[in-house]
Amino acid sequence: MFVRGSMATRRRLLPAAAMAVVAGATGLAGAAPAAAAPETQVNCTANPGALQPAINAASPGDTLRVRGTCTGPFTINKNLTLRGNGQAVLDGNSAGPTVTVGDLAGSQVQPTLDHLTITHGYAGVGGGIRNNPSATVTLINSTVEGNTAQYGGGIYTYGTVHLIRSTVKNNTAQGGPGGGIMTDTTVVVTLDNSTVERNSADDGGGGLYIRAGSTAALTHSTVKDNTAQFGGGVTTEGGTTLNLNHSTVKGNTASTQGGAIYNGGTVTLTHSTVERNTAQGGPGSGGGIYQQSSSATATLNNSRVRKNTPDNCAPSGSVPGCVG
């Protein structure tokens, strides 16, 4: 198993009588605005070990305002928001996944990580974040970097992951697939205005590795400068769905096939670009898109596959509208 501006408002001055009527009506209704729930302050500058006890003591729905660098690893097993003051750091201390969400029993927790850097995780599965079955984790304005695992250097998910204005970078899948993000089967990953860059995998999927039956959707997002044995940017297994909308896959490198995308499933590009990627397997290795089997499909809707080395798409003719 396995993602918003402001408007200036001009106010009129009410006559005094009208103000009195409004005030009286409010008093009669007794509808004073409810006070916002207080945030719990967690000062890791003063105490690097303060965060996990605060998580344990929090009630579902609470917000923890985090300051400084917190030393973990950490487990989140309830619905919480962890919000960095500035860009707080969650440091896994190379002692497992930096953040583990939920448990293997399938607890349906839905935490949000906001303005945080998640780093120095070291694990077999999910170096930065291990998202367990039935859990949903949302990252907002956050960074997952400098983590290592055999499967899913940055993130491994058995549940649902949403990235919003977030970055997954400089993570490593050591001896396995999914340098940046790896999914288990039949899960969902969405990226909105997010970036996956400079990750590496010794197997497939330098940026993302999407396993069978899973869905990944990228909107206004970028996958760039990742490296892998195959699928430098993205690898999709059979039965997967990958949708790119107003997104870019560029500058990725595969040592064999599929510089940008190694596709075994269904890929749809809409107003998107695949460019300047490299596959080092020689002619026919698909510098841009490599179609792993005859059942794999790739559709280009107002999209461009260009300037890839040694070719844009392979085998020749396997991607309608892709030439060169």
SS (H, E, C) 16-34: HHHHHHHHHHHHHHCCCCC
**C-beta separation of 213 from 241 below 8 A:** no
**C-beta separation of 162 from 188 below 8 A:** no
pLDDT at position 20 is: 32
Distance (Å, rounded) from C-alpha 317 to C-alpha 310?
Answer: 15
| CA triple 124-135-80, angle to 5 deg | 105
Mean pLDDT per segment of 10 residues, for the chain of length 324 residues? 33 30 36 61 98 97 98 97 94 98 91 98 98 97 98 98 98 98 97 98 98 98 98 98 98 98 98 98 97 96 98 96 90
Dihedral of CA atoms 241, 247, 250, 256 in degrees, nearest 10, equals 0
* Token representation of residue 50: 């303060």
**C-beta separation of 313 from 284 below 8 A:** no
**C-beta separation of 244 from 268 below 8 A:** yes
* Token representation of residue 182: 């790896």
pLDDT at position 37 is: 61
pLDDT at position 5 is: 37
Report pTM.
0.89
Using only C-alpha atoms, what is the Rg of the chain? 23
**Exposed / middle / buried, residue 317 (Cβ in 10 Å: 0-12, 13-18, 19+):** exposed
Q: Where are the domains of the chain?
A: 38-174, 179-318
